[in-house]
Amino acid sequence: MSRRKDRERFMAMKQLNPDYVGFRGYGQDFTSSSEPPLEKVTCSRCGRTRNVPVGVAADHQDDYVCATCQEELGEESAETAPAEEEEEETAVEEAKEA
């Protein structure tokens, strides 16, 4: 586009929105997000590097367990829980019989 057309487009946008400052964006800084800054931490279980919020990284620098490993731990405990419940039920039944 020519400069004249660019200038005409800019003036039209400026009339619609008096705060318009051009195609490069508004004067306010929108690059900062509401997400907390992240830091690299190595999972103590699988050894993979994960990006976690700085506060979590400071608290759990040496004993951090990533979400994937936590899910695996949860599945393992869920698999063993029914076996433990069966053992408890048989113990209760045996106590009733005695």
Distance set, CA 74 to CA 17, 50, 70, 78 (Å): 54, 19, 6, 6
Q: Which residue in this structure is represented by tokens 């400026």?
A: 14
CA 44 vs. chain centroid, Å, equals 19
Give the count of beta carbons closer than 10 Å to the beta carbon of residue 50. 19
Residues paired with 50 in a beta bridge: 41
Let me know if 81 is exposed, middle or buried by CB neighbors in 10 A (0-12, 13-18, 19+): exposed
Q: Where are the domains of the chain?
A: 1-27, 37-77
Query: pLDDT tens digits for the chain (98 residues)?
Result: 688 988 888 888 889 888 887 766 555 555 556 677 899 999 999 999 999 988 888 888 889 999 999 999 888 877 766 555 556 666 656 665 65
